[in-house]
Chains A and B, each alone.
Chain A
Amino acid sequence: MHIMEGFLPWQWCIVWWIAAIPFLVMGTIQLRRIIRKDREYLSLLGVCGAFIFILSALKLPSVTGSSSHPTGTGLSTMCFGVFITSIIGAIVLLFQALLLAHGGLSTMGANMVSMAIGGPLAGYAVYYLLRNTRVNIYITVFIVTTVADLVTYIITSFELAIAYPAQTGGILSSFEAFFIIFAVTQIPLAIIEGCVLTLVFKYIVALKSDILIKLNVFSEDQISRASHNEDQIVHLEIQ
């Protein structure tokens, strides 16, 4: 989903940076607040950040004949919300722009809006709709993480389509072309990411369910129902 340095007109670079900055400011404020409130949150924050680092480094071949990488932002979105996720995503994008020439500093605003803000926002919307329903929490986690990944690539397609409308067919035709390159490639990878992050969430429930309850990710009742089985597994493994 990286828009490479130099591949976005400077006017659009400014637009996307302006769109991203408020999220970074809010993210910094929330991050300071949450760390001051309870240092235990740092460990979960570390796990969420670590997964964004790992998954966004994995370039996987896909069924369309090209390669892409998962984003890993869904987990952080559920645990800490969109603003803090935007900070973690920005750190990863900065690392890749400075050391790997994947993305760039001028296009980082656009890349943040797709990976660190837009995808997480879509994931959070799904999470908000499903969290207080009877849907199993693991199914909710799977859908949220899959949607956050997939929407990231849809937004990248949109960003490029409005910057480079096709001569015939305009923005829509251009969007279709970028959608096939980015979003269609991403469908199987997003599903795999959903499965992996659901598994990770299961281990967090098994080992550190109290943080999830404190952060009100899911209700105590939902977590205790889910953790009942996981607790038995951990007990077996410890023995």
Chain B
Amino acid sequence: MIANYKIELVAVLAILVFVVVLLFINSGGNHKFIGSDDAGSQKISELTGNPIDSFVPIIPQYKPSNGEIETTFFVLQAAIGSFILGIIFGYWLAKKRSTRGQGD
């Protein structure tokens, strides 16, 4: 039975190892875990010697006014994906079930 779920076990184990290593690394509380995109922007600022504020958009863009609104859009993005996924996997499973029902 366990052999049938090898990939699930490996995935869970990988996530566990990742979480434990992360907790160990952050045990001192020294890391802020800023986004690599922001870290990249900071490095560009360092390399050019220009402050981050001096980089102005070439094409004007909407910026979420605060972290909450930004989080809402990120959640919306994940929710759209999850919604589509749920419908399709549900459809496939139901179809498979009905095919088996007809076969029995």
Chain A residues with CB under 8 Å of chain B are 1-7, 10, 13, 43, 46-47, 49-54, 56-59, 61-63, 65-68, 92, 95-102, 104-106, 138, 153, 156, 160, 164, 166-167, 174, 177-178, 181-182, 185-186, 188, 191-192, 195-196, 198-199, 202-203, 207-208, 229, 232-235, 238
**Residue in contact with A174 in the complex, picked from B22, B41, B47, B82, CB distance below 8 Å:** B47
Task: State whether A49 and B58 are in contact (beta carbons under 8 Å apart), knowing that A192-B14, A233-B4 are contacts in the complex.
Answer: no
Chain B residues 1 to 40 lying within 8 A of chain A, measured CB to CB, are: 3-5, 7-8, 10-11, 14-15, 18, 21-22, 25-26, 30-37, 39-40
Chain B residues with CB under 8 Å of chain A are 3-5, 7-8, 10-11, 14-15, 18, 21-22, 25-26, 30-37, 39-41, 43-44, 47-48, 55-59, 61-64, 70, 73-78, 80-82, 84-85, 87-89, 91-93, 96-97, 100
**Residue in contact with A195 in the complex, picked from B14, B64, B70, B87, CB distance below 8 Å:** B14
Return 23 A-B CB contacts under 8 Å, by A number: A7-B44, A10-B58, A13-B58, A43-B88, A47-B85, A49-B84, A62-B22, A65-B30, A92-B77, A96-B77, A99-B62, A99-B76, A100-B77, A101-B62, A101-B63, A106-B57, A174-B47, A181-B36, A181-B43, A186-B36, A196-B11, A203-B89, A207-B93
State the Cβ distance, A155 to closest chain B Cβ, in Å: 13
State the Cβ distance, B87 to closest chain A Cβ, in Å: 8
B80 touches A53 (CB 8 A): yes
Shortest beta-carbon contacts, A-B, top 4: A53-B81, A65-B31, A54-B81, A195-B11
**Residue in contact with A47 in the complex, picked from B44, B63, B88, CB distance below 8 Å:** B88
State the Cβ distance, B12 to closest chain A Cβ, in Å: 9
Complex Cα gap A1–B64 (Å): 19
A59 touches B100 (CB 8 A): no
Closest to B8 in A: A199
State the Cβ distance, A52 to closest chain B Cβ, in Å: 8
Complex Cα gap A95–B75 (Å): 12
